Amino acid sequence: MTTTSESVLSTSLIDDDKLVVATLNRPAKGNALNNELVSALEVLIEQLHNRRAPFRDVRALVITGAGDRAFSAGADINNLVGLSRDRARDQMIAGQKVFQALETLDLPVIAAINGVAYGGGLELAMACDMRITSSASKLGQPEITLANIPGWGGTQRLPRIVGEGRALEMILTGDPITAARAYEIGLVNAIDDNPLSAAITLAQRISRNAAGAVAAGKKAVYDGLRYGSEHGYQIEAELVGDRCATPEQREAVEAFLQRKKPQESQENQK
């Protein structure tokens, strides 16, 4: 295992460097997302996108929070005090771009929610492909209680995941929901007493599949959501065509057929 630590973000390479665990490292502040931490995430995402050392062999990313109290309590309010209209808008656009880059990584990204995920923390979790939470966690978009709304993609991703009515209830009341409710409405994929271990296990399962096929699956889903089903159908067909032209796909099909032949032979003898 290779571990690197920075002041606000730590990363660990495990599973023969195929999996990176990124830990939001501000436990005394509830792992709140200040400008420094968002910038550190941006650097990590860029390194993963370009497969820069030490991440050349990485096949999946898990994001969690330090300590046992919070995945992330949200954006650091200190970074929002006294902002002008233009500065506030620019800061939201900058954060949106980082989370968009995370969502469009050609790797599976799983959030291991080990405590509260509020505001920007929930927005970060929703920019991941999947979410696993502890039973004690609470999730919410409380910005309305500060006379504002989510600004890092929450108004867009939350209704996409749970539907408009449930999203609006969370956004307009600011009330947090329990892990059980989050699972019930599809906001999280699973509840586990050890969300980090469960997230790593899921990442390892996905990583056993062809990396190109995993990337294609992500692209097809997100392109369809972003640009509409008509475009989604087109890109799906194009990506299937691309995959069928790869040696790894042809080898996988041949291996499947070879495994099937003995079974067919046995059935014919009966």
Residue 2 has pLDDT above 90, yes or no: no
Q: What is the mean pLDDT of residues 239-264?
A: 87
**pLDDT category, 209, cuts 50, 70, 90?**
very high
Taking all residues of the chain, what is their mean pLDDT, rounded to a whole number? 94
* Pick from 29, 40, 41: nearest CA to 76: 29
Choice among 6, 103, 143, 230 that is catalytic? 143
Residue 263 has pLDDT above 80, yes or no: no
pLDDT value at position 6? 60
Q: Where is average pLDDT lowest: 5-19, 38-52, 190-204, 225-239?
A: 5-19
Q: What is the mean pLDDT of residues 127-139?
A: 98
Q: How do beta strands 116-118 and 70-72 pair?
A: parallel
d(CA 50, CA 52): 5
**pLDDT category, 260, cuts 50, 70, 90?**
confident
Percent over 90 (pLDDT), the chain: 87
Find where tokens 């820069």 sit. Answer: 52
Tell whether omega for the bond before 54 is within 30 degrees of 0, i.e. cis.
yes
Find where tokens 């409380």 sit. Answer: 142
Predicted TM-score (pTM) of the model is 0.92
pLDDT value at position 267? 59
Looking at residue 8, the DSSP 8-state letter turns out to be S
Question: Given this structure, which CATH class describes domain 2-207?
Answer: alpha beta
Choice among 123, 164, 248, 267 that is catalytic? 123
d(CA 104, CA 8): 23
48-87: pLDDT as tens digits: 999 999 999 999 999 999 998 999 999 988 888 888 999 9
* Pick from 11, 102, 106, 125: nearest CA to 51: 106
Catalytic status, residue 248: no
Q: How do beta strands 190-191 and 2-5 pair?
A: unpaired
* Pick from 144, 160, 99: nearest CA to 124: 99
Catalytic status, residue 143: yes
pLDDT value at position 262? 65
How is the chain split into domains, by residue range? 2-207, 211-264
pLDDT value at position 79? 82
Phi, psi at 190, each rounded to 5°: -160, 160
